[in-house]
Structure 1
């Protein structure tokens, strides 16, 4: 789950999703659900979650994004629960499309899991540069409403020493700054090539089902090892790496940590269920 401003997006929805949401008290005001692929542990929770939303009186539409057959899944949901109190909107994912939201977008990309599958890049819009207050004053702009107009990209006119002067935003604003970026791979083998939009993420959430000793097994079942996830973090220039989907066969993540650190020098996270990660702006 990602919360950005007032929006809540759910990426995959396993069988126990709503119980976990209740544990951490997120509520059920989800705006959109993205399904990476049609394996049961990634979508079976949708049925119960939508029914709970109906019981709670939801009226607003919910958007469901998924691979081919998403329309069939939504049709089945409607047939099973014909008394849902809100519309369900189904959208089929396409590699590289830009799904626009207010101030950010979600970009699906094809992954390698033995079936049609997707990862997702959430990237915020570019932010304005920093406002140079001292420079504005030196140009004759008095502190006050004109500061705000310049920061909103408007050109202003001031009178200094009896002469009118035009001041443009580029005279007092620094270079645009990137927004935050989060990547979620879902289940996948290592990608042969990453999309350009994946570079420079603040957080890469990557499949690390196995440690490197089980690399052959990982390849057989279309998953990744911790070391391979770390290589992906290096290839994409990720600031932080979260290793997820660890196989239940492991009672310790010591080998995963060792494997990942062999390739990647950044911060490595092993989030448990319901772990909350704050993602600050880089500047």
Structure 2
């Protein structure tokens, strides 16, 4: 799971159904937290708590969930998770940087090996440019068998366009990038250390990402952000609640944008809060 904002458990329940929720929680192996803003980590406690309860009911008490996140997450989890006796192992994001002298290559390789063994993927984190200290992006790469086609997913967290992410995600199968504001609001995005639609698409282009999926839209957009730029791009799409994307369906992903744009126009979804939709 990449980030776990408030309401994540409820979204999982609505997406998969209450009966399947416990199975999904028990199958969860790792939660990665990009930074300490509430909309990215506040749902973690409920996920940990309900996973621990599900494990007890299934006779699997003591199974631990790997959590990767910024150093301040340690104190927060110790303070609150103890009430539910949540079982987790915390790894700081910095320990999975591509190179970091204070970590030490041996320690880093052990951590990467443990994640690879448990998840079947390689995980690398990189620092990014955001208003919150210790903000990171993550790159998850498939450890596929010989003869299979590998995949690579890059997730930005919250950030301004960032060279470290571009370099680490080079050639990604899918880039998931925040696009908090529409392109004309670039100065606002700079002030708030976020990215615009155009900037996020530019990151995908410089990275050489096969597909770019935009997310984390400002609440000023009541339904969807303006879609013209994404629709014209040809290799991008916008994310929305309960969206499921199989990597095998990525070739056709951009084709959904034109129908979505028409629906948004028909329903008047493009108006900003506080403004009457045309």
Aligning the two structures, in what range does the TM-score lie when normalised by the shorter sequence? 0.7 to 0.9
1:24 paired with 2:9, answer: no
CA offsets per residue over residues 113-170 of structure 1, 9 Å max, x none? 12220111110125423xxxxxxxxxxxxxxxxxxxxxxxxxxxxxxxxxxxxxxxxx
CA deviation after TM superposition for structure 1 residue 280, in Å: 2.6
The structure carrying a bigger strand percent of its residues is: 1
- Aligned partners of 1:270, 1:238: CA distance in 2, in Å? 15
CA deviation after TM superposition for structure 1 residue 281, in Å: 9.6
- Aligned partners of 1:198, 1:178: CA distance in 2, in Å? 17
1:259 paired with 2:229, answer: yes
1:65 paired with 2:68, answer: yes
Would you say how many aligned residue pairs link Structure 1 and Structure 2?
A: 220
Secondary structure of the residue that 2:82 maps to in structure 1?
Answer: helix
TM-score normalised to structure 2 length: 0.72
2:116 aligned residue = 101
CA deviation after TM superposition for structure 1 residue 193, in Å: 4.2
1:180 aligned residue = 151
1:225 paired with 2:225, answer: no
**Residue ranges of structure 1 left out of the alignment (5+ in a row):** 1-9, 130-176
1:88 aligned residue = 88
1:122 aligned residue = 140
1:237 paired with 2:208, answer: yes
Mapped contact 2:137–2:165 kept (Cα < 8 A)? no
Aligned pair in 2 of structure 1 residues 181, 40: CA closer, same or farther (>3 Å)? same
CA deviation after TM superposition for structure 1 residue 236, in Å: 0.7
CA deviation after TM superposition for structure 1 residue 69, in Å: 1.9
CA deviation after TM superposition for structure 1 residue 75, in Å: 1.3
CA offsets per residue over residues 20-52 of structure 1, 9 Å max, x none? 000111531221111100011111111122221
Larger Rg over CA atoms: 1
1:77 aligned residue = 80
